[in-house]
Every structure is written in structure tokens, then in C-alpha cells.
Amino acid sequence: MGRGQKRGRTQRRHFKQNRDNVWKHNPGKPSAAADTADAPTEENVKWEPFATQNPGFDEYYKEQRIVREEEWDEFIASLRSPLPAAFRINASGQFSEDIQSQLQNEFTKFLEAEANNENGEEAIRPLSWYPGNLAWQLNFSRMQLRKNQALEGFHEFLKQENEVGNITRQEAVSMVPPLFLNVMPEHHILDMCAAPGSKTFQLLEIIHGFTKTGQLPKGLVIANDVDVQRCNLLIHQTKRMSTANLIVTNHEAQHFPSISMGKDGQVGRSSLLFDRVLCDVPCSGDGTLRKAPDIWRKWNAGMGNGLHCLQVVIAMRGLALLKVGGRMVYSTCSMNPVENEAVVAEILRRCEGSVELLDVSNELPGLVRRPGLKTWKVRDKGSWFTTYKDIPVHRKNGAIVQSMFPSGLSWKETLNEGATNHLTEAPISEESKESDASSHLSEMEVSELPLERCMRIVPHDQNSGAFFIAVFQKISPLPANHSTNKQTKSKQRDKSHMNVKVKEGSEIQKAEDVREISIDSVVTEGNTEMISENKDLEAEPLLDDNEQNGVQKSKTDNKKKKLPMQGNWRGVDPVVFFTDETIINSIISFYGVCEGFPLAGHLVVRNDESTLVKRIYYVSRSVRDILQLNLQVGQRLKITSLGLKIFERQTAKDGSPCYYRISSEGLQLLLPYLTKQIVYASFSDFEHLLKYRAVKFVDFVDSTLAEKASALLPGCCVVVLRQENNNADITVDASTIAIICWKGKSNLSIMVSASDAKELLERLEIRHGKKDITASVLEKSLLKGDSVAPLDDAEAVDGTENMEEEPAI
């Protein structure tokens, strides 16, 4: 077994693959020395950047008329240029205003000066369409940030702030889908394909953004992903948010279970439905070419075809789980109409008027987007098809399906149903007609559905990546047979209509019929076979661990490899409520937790044997209700993680009457309700604690602090920073700064990680005018470290070596 293979093997794989994004191995012409070598050596291996071109790609998108002919050069040039880096400030973070003002004032000047942009382009600017100036885009790529010495300090700043959760590094267009959900703090949100979690984090920011410290939003996010390892990545990333309102689950989204939820713990009255669903499906990912140039090499038209059916069934499941009146956003980072408009059209057909494709052209006015296409073609095995009837019989075995075409109907059905107007001449521009004189223009199908309401973001409109977004509103319950469209009826003669086989009586077909499926209809692991029966894909979809195209299955690995959840689920301890009254009461009495903060019923653990409990997690009321229900129905939800770590077992030789210390993540929530084991420090004493990590009582500048600290019970305590000129104890609010410490015999020592202490110290010094922000950035250049986990996509892997500090609950 290789070095360190046990731990973090996946993370390393992610890491490696993402480095592969930029450089490819090219053995090139072997040198004379290499001729004799058995294996490649450093000397005979050549590394060169990926070629950013692919004739198949050009042909495909020219034919699909993804942009006007005269725009093509600009479009393709933009796709070949590196993607500008972007990030978002976490509005619910304690230092969001400080960061905002630093960006607007000092950083902008610093970057302009350092970057010395000759074209007069801004070095950094807020994204005009993102509310509250929270999202920023740089005029540098991630690579430039890494390589350019002048920018190194700023890069370190970004990494550090990302690590502590003050900002999130995320591609600009990837921030768009959650915004169209119109999230409110009381919403129950399902993020169906959530890993690595950049959008989950954004959703949490939004629901927390409305609430004060010490209070929790009424809503929650359930973040689901089929891949266990990617779930772990998500858990690690969302830990930065310190939230009690998140549940991470591990299901195939298309089989996400239905469970019944009644009032007062009664099971069976109504189903667990969501106010908002984010359906950011696995896709071919060609919208991420600017940051993942290896896709140029891998791309082919079969990738989109191979994903279409999975995308449809995931989206249909999302709509089944959506409340009437609720919104669902369907999104991909692909430009391909087969993965986008064709999926949206099929959803509308199956829903038979029970969902509406919303016109959101008035929302986010600053965002440049293009209407969805009404007509497109399908490419299979090197040929173009404008209609399903032309598909060779042997390709109708599930590889190519009717719903990939604009009409969604076979030629025969179209004629039978008199829907001849689906097969009209496409109302496309004159120049397009000219350029396509040779194709089957008379047979171009044009969708009659309002697909222009979809949005396609293309790279050259606002110097971004590409994305596709469609917003649905559910108007009424889905039809009983919603998972099977008209085509399916004819599937008796054409059995392999879909590459996702839907079993008779399966949840997909009856997802909304809660009475029928309720608790008994368990999604068995055996159902996982349903994913793909695609017998003969032109090419495999990308099995890429990049954020944007986490495709789970291909025809080959479907057969050979078990799904991650199948292999790993069985050994995981269930999440259970922590009910040991002796321990709970000892915590309440040691810290003087007020009644206003209910502990009982909100504490959960992975293992209910009290003596072994190392970590205790806090869950919001909304999460508690779902957990209760899940336990009642036999744990149908496979919960990978939930809640906020609030207490950790800590024993010390000095001895403490309480075996549990408060964890840093839980402090902010608990702080307003603590009446004991809490002291207040002046800035200088607080600064000393952060700097030296342990300070003797006699060395505190403030004698009152020395006195009060020595009077604390041994063990965990909280030190709150008192504001300048305020000698009285303060009322705790959102701006309160506090740290966890340990009261020993003669000193206080901090229980804060070195990086958090450094970050906090620096923030406070800047706030108190003891440090200049530019100096701090320059200093970072000199002290360059590499410990940070950026959240988005490829970069999300950088920090994962740190992630196994502790298992997820």
C-alpha cells in the first residue's frame, strides 16, 4: 500500500485530476537515453499545456447555432482564455462588513497599482447582478493569482478568508442558480446533486443571512449527492458555515426517498416536500472549459446524449418532491441543448401543465443571458439528425431517445396525433438558413414550448464561464404517470426508450402518491441498477471529479463498480438523539445555559453509548423534526452528516466538573445563552491570548480579568472581547467576538486552531488600526502558506488534506 493511502486517497485523486486539468502528459519523441529506459523518467517526460481546441466541438456548436455566426470567433476566443477568478463574501460572517470595505477601498487600489493593467480594465469589481455587492470578480485567473508575485499576497488573503468561511471562492456563473430560487429563511430546500457544495454553501448563507446571532433560521437545506466521497468534501466545506440547519444525505437523486411527515410526530399525513429544489445535475461540463481545459481533449457529442435521460429523471424527481407553489431551478454547466432545452421540454411534456417554466427575464437585471433555443439537432455516431424517425433502428435501443429532439415525439406519433406543426420550417435567421442549405431543413423540428424562457449564459457576454438555467414553478400535483411520457406507452414495442429504466411501481413513477408509497416504499439498494442501460453510447460521459460534471455512471463502470453508497452505507452508525440527562444537566449547570436555549431534543450523536460519546451536535428545530420522522420510518433517509458540533469531550489532568467543552463552531450560537464560565477581556488582553495562546492570570493587563478568570471553575470557558471604553460586561450581539479557552491552575489558554487565531488577530488589529491592510497583504506574500480549502470545483480539492480532523457525524 502506498504512502498515506489509507487516508485521503480520494482527496489526492481529486487533487491530481485537477492538476491534470491544466497540464497533460506528453511522452513526445523519446530521447536516445529514453529509448533504452524501461519506464518514463523525469527527463523523457514532456509536459505541455492542453490544446484548447477540438474540431468536433466547433462543428457541433456551429451546427447548433449556439451563437450567431459573426460572434463565433469571439465566443471561441473567450472559451480559450483563462477564467477570471471570483469569490463571494459570506454576509452572515462576523467580518463581512470589514471585508466589504477593504475590498472597496484598499484592495481595489492595491490591485490596480500592482496589476498595472494597460487596457484600463478594472482589476477587481463587484458583480453587478449579485445582491448587496457580495460577489466579486477579478481580472486575473486562478493561475495568474498563483503565479504572479505581486498578487501572491492577495491570493493568500483569499485562501485564508476562504478557509475560515468569511468568503467563498466560486466561479461567478455558478452563483446564479441559487439566486433564482428566491430563497427565504423559512424554506425547506433540497439540493439534489450538491457536492462539492458551493451552491449548498450559498443557500445556507442566504437562509442565515436573515437571522440574528443566537437564533436559527426556520428553514433548512438537505444537500444530497450520490457519491460518498464527494459528500465528505461537501461536509468539510460546509463546516465553515457552522450551521445547525443542514442535513447531508447520500442517495441517487432520482430515487430520493419520499417520507411522510405529520404534525406531532404522527407519520403518514403528508409527505416531506420542499419549498425549493435545486437540481444542478451531472452534465458534460463544457461550460467549464475555461477553468478545466482538459475537457477540450475529452469532449464529444455523445457525452450530452449519454446524460440526457438521467438528467430528466433527476429533474422529475425534484418536481415530485417540490410543494405546489414552490420553485425548482434546473441547471447545468453545459451548453448542449440535449442536456438543457431538450430536458426542460421533456419535463414540461411529462408534467402536462402541472409545472410552469417561469419567465424570469426581469429578475437579476444586471445578468446578461440569452433565451433558450427552440430548435436543435442531435448528433450520433458522426451523423446529424433533425428528427427521431431518421435514427437507425439499432440506435433506438436507448442510446438515442425521442425526447432529445425538439418535438419529443417520433415521426409516427407526430403524424398520428396531428401535431404536424412540430415539423415546420424552423423560424431561424436568414443567414442560418443559407449556411445550412445542405441539411434537412424541411424536417427541422421546432419546439412549441416556451423554451425561450430558459437562460443560457455564454462566456463572451460578461467574461464568465457558461451555464444553463431554467426556473420552474409547480402549479398543481404532477400527473400520476408523470415519469412516463406518451412515448413510454409505446415502449412495449420499443422497450429501451430511456437509458434509465423505470421499474413498474417504482418511486419515480409514483413519487407524489404519498398514500401509496409512504413509509413502505423503500428504495432498495437493488434499485440502483436503474441508472443506465445505455447500451452503446457514442462515447462515455466524462467521469470527471470536477465540480461541474460529477457524472456518476457510464456503461462500463455501471456493471463493474458498485455505487459508492452501496459499498459504504452499511457500516455507518445511525444518527440518534442524545438523551443522557446526567450529561446534559452537567453541561447546563456548568455553563449556566439559560432555558431560552433548548438543549434537550436538539442534541444528536452518532453513537448513543454515553460513555463513548466524543462529539455532540446541535440541530435546529426543522432538522430535528426531520430526524425524528426519519427514525420513525426506519431511517429511509441515509444521513451522512447533520447539525453543528457544539460540545466535545475533553478531559484534562487538572480535572473539570464538566467533561464537555464548547466547540468553536457552536460558540456563536450558544454565546447569548451562557451565564457561567464567561469572562470579558480588553483588546490588549484578548490580543495577548491570541498571540501567545496562554497567558498567566498575573500577566493580564486588566486586574479584574485576572481576578475573574482565576475564580472560574477549571475547564472550558469563554473569553469575550470587550469593546473599547466599555468597562461594563457587554450584551452579546452579532458583532460579539469571543473565543473558547481552558482555565488551568494559573493561566488561561486558548482552544482555537493556529490558523483561526492568526486570522482573528489580524482582523482585530486591522479593525483597531494596528495594522494596515496593504502591509498585511504584503506580509502574506512573504509568509505564503498552503493550507486553505477553496470551495469551488477544481480548487475545492486543495485543502482536503485537512479534512479528516474528525469524522462527519
Give me the active site residues, please.
333
Q: Which ranges of 288-429 would DSSP assign to H, the alpha helix?
A: 294-298, 302-320, 341-351, 411-416
Spatial separation of the C-alpha atoms in residues 1 and 120, rounded to whole Å: 54
Q: Is 638 annotated as a binding residue?
A: no
Q: State the minimum distance, in angstroms, from the CB of residue 329 to ligand SAM.
A: 11
**Shorter beta-carbon distance to ligand SAM: residue 468 or 700:** 468
Instruction: Record the cell numbers describing residue 279, joined without a space.
Output: 437540481
**Shorter beta-carbon distance to ligand SAM: residue 187 or 553:** 553
**Shorter beta-carbon distance to ligand SAM: residue 94 or 174:** 174
Measure CA 41 to chain center: 39
Q: State the minimum distance, in angstroms, from the CB of residue 644 to ligand SAM.
A: 21
Q: Is 197 annotated as a binding residue?
A: yes
Spatial separation of the C-alpha atoms in residues 117 and 96, rounded to whole Å: 28
Location of C-alpha cell 482573528: 760
Please give the residues from 264 up to 303 whose contact with ligand SAM meets the rule CB under 6 A. 280, 282
**Can residue 226 be called a binding residue for ligand SAM (CB under 6 A)?**
yes
The identity of residue 257, as a single letter, is P
Stretch that binds ligand SAM, among 1-9, 547-555, 601-609, 678-686 (CB under 6 A): 547-555
Q: State the minimum distance, in angstroms, from the CB of residue 379 to ligand SAM.
A: 23
Q: Based on the number of CB atoms within 10 Å of its own CB, is 225 exposed (0-12), middle (13-18) or buried (19 or more)?
A: buried
**Shorter beta-carbon distance to ligand SAM: residue 252 or 798:** 252
* Tally of CB atoms within 10 A around 716: 25
Three-state secondary-structure class, residue 216: coil
x/- track of binding to ligand SAM for residues 238-257 (CB under 6 A): --------------xxx---
Please give the residues from 558 up to 617 whose contact with ligand SAM meets the rule CB under 6 A. none
Q: Which of 275, 248, 262 is nearest to 628 (CA)?
A: 262
Spatial separation of the C-alpha atoms in residues 309 and 488, rounded to whole Å: 13
Q: Is 194 annotated as a binding residue?
A: yes
Phi, psi dihedral angles at 355 (to 5 degrees): -130, 150
**Can residue 230 be called a binding residue for ligand SAM (CB under 6 A)?**
yes
Q: Is 505 annotated as a binding residue?
A: no
Q: State the minimum distance, in angstroms, from the CB of residue 178 to ligand SAM.
A: 9
Three-state secondary-structure class, residue 476: coil
Maximal CA-CA distance, the chain = 92
**Can residue 232 be called a binding residue for ligand SAM (CB under 6 A)?**
no
Phi, psi dihedral angles at 494 (to 5 degrees): -135, 75
Please give the residues from 106 up to 125 whose contact with ligand SAM meets the rule CB under 6 A. none
Spatial separation of the C-alpha atoms in residues 147 and 135, rounded to whole Å: 23
**Shorter beta-carbon distance to ligand SAM: residue 114 or 252:** 252
The identity of residue 601, as a single letter, is G
Binding residues for ligand SAM, rule CB under 6 A, total 23
Q: Is 198 annotated as a binding residue?
A: yes
x/- track of binding to ligand SAM for residues 501-540 (CB under 6 A): ----------------------------------------
By CB under 6 A, name the one of 205, 339, 461, 547 that touches ligand SAM: 547
Q: Based on the number of CB atoms within 10 Å of its own CB, is 215 exposed (0-12), middle (13-18) or buried (19 or more)?
A: middle
Q: What single string gives the DSSP state of each residue in 157-186?
A: HHHHHHHHTSEEE--GGGGHHHHTT---TT
**Can residue 315 be called a binding residue for ligand SAM (CB under 6 A)?**
no
Contact 99, 158 (CB under 8 A): no
Q: State the minimum distance, in angstroms, from the CB of residue 230 to ligand SAM.
A: 5
**Shorter beta-carbon distance to ligand SAM: residue 253 or 789:** 253
Residue number with the shortest CB distance to ligand SAM?
A: 550
Pairing of strands 124-126, 135-141: antiparallel
Spatial separation of the C-alpha atoms in residues 184 and 573, rounded to whole Å: 33
**Can residue 795 be called a binding residue for ligand SAM (CB under 6 A)?**
no
**Shorter beta-carbon distance to ligand SAM: residue 498 or 583:** 498
Stretch that binds ligand SAM, among 353-361, 413-421, 542-550, 600-608 (CB under 6 A): 542-550
Spatial separation of the C-alpha atoms in residues 455 and 453, rounded to whole Å: 6
Instruction: Record the cell numbers describing residue 249, joined without a space.
Output: 444525505
**Shorter beta-carbon distance to ligand SAM: residue 170 or 620:** 170
Contact 518, 268 (CB under 8 A): yes
Pairing of strands 246-249, 220-224: parallel
Q: Is 177 annotated as a binding residue?
A: no
**Can residue 550 be called a binding residue for ligand SAM (CB under 6 A)?**
yes
x/- track of binding to ligand SAM for residues 165-194 (CB under 6 A): ---------x------------------xx
Q: State the minimum distance, in angstroms, from the CB of residue 788 to ligand SAM.
A: 17
**Can residue 341 be called a binding residue for ligand SAM (CB under 6 A)?**
no
Q: State the minimum distance, in angstroms, from the CB of residue 195 to ligand SAM.
A: 4
Spatial separation of the C-alpha atoms in residues 291 and 478, rounded to whole Å: 39
Query: Site residues (CB under 6 A) for ligand SAM?
Result: 174, 193-199, 225-227, 230, 252-254, 280, 282, 547-552
Query: Residues forming the annotated binding site?
Result: 193-199, 225, 280
Query: Residues forming the annotated binding site for S-adenosyl-L-methionine?
Result: 193-199, 225, 280
